[in-house]
Amino acid sequence: MTWSRETTVEDVLGELIERGYRFVHPRDERGEIITVVGVRAHGTVIDIVRLDAEDDVLAMRMPGDEQNILAPETVLWKRSGAMHTVVADLLCLADDDFAPRAKPETRGCWVPSGREGRAKWLVATA
C-alpha cells in the first residue's frame, strides 16, 4: 500500500479502522491527548500502531500472549518513522507474517497393539 503526501491523518486512521483496529487515546493530567494507539488482535498475533505525531509513528507485531502490549518483551516485527511509511508497511503485512507457529498440544501414550513389536498412539481425551 502506498500513501500520497496529500493523505491526511484522518484518512490513515479510517483505513486502520476499516482493517479492524480499535483505538485508545491516553491523556495527561490536564486531559490532553498524549498519543493515539491502535490495536488489532488476530490469529496468534497482536498489531499495535502508536501515532505520536505525523513524523513519529511506531508499529509493532507481537505474539498474542504478550502481557504488556505497550512495552512488549517479544517483538516479531517493528517499524518507526513517518506515518505514511510505517502504516503502509504495517498494512502490507499478511495476517500470518512473523506469526509464531502454534504448538500442537497432543497428549497421550503409545500402547501395544497386540502384535509383537507394534504399538499405536492413544490420544488422551481428558
Convert the pLDDT of each residue in 45-78 to its tens digit. 999 999 999 999 999 999 988 888 889 999 999 9
Task: Quote the CA–CA distance of 25 and 32 in Å, as a whole number.
Answer: 9
Instruction: Give me Rg for the CA atoms of the chain.
Output: 22
Q: What is the pLDDT of residues 71-117, one digit of tens each?
A: 999 999 999 999 989 999 999 998 888 777 666 566 777 677 777 76
Per-residue pLDDT at 2 exceeds 60:
no
Dihedrals φ, ψ of 24, to 5°? Answer: -125, 155
Confidence category of residue 37, pLDDT binned at 50, 70, 90: very high
Listed by start position, the domains of the chain span: 9-123
Does the predicted TM-score (pTM) go above 0.75?
no
What was the pLDDT predicted at 104?
A: 59
Task: Quote the CA–CA distance of 97 and 33 in Å, as a whole number.
Answer: 32
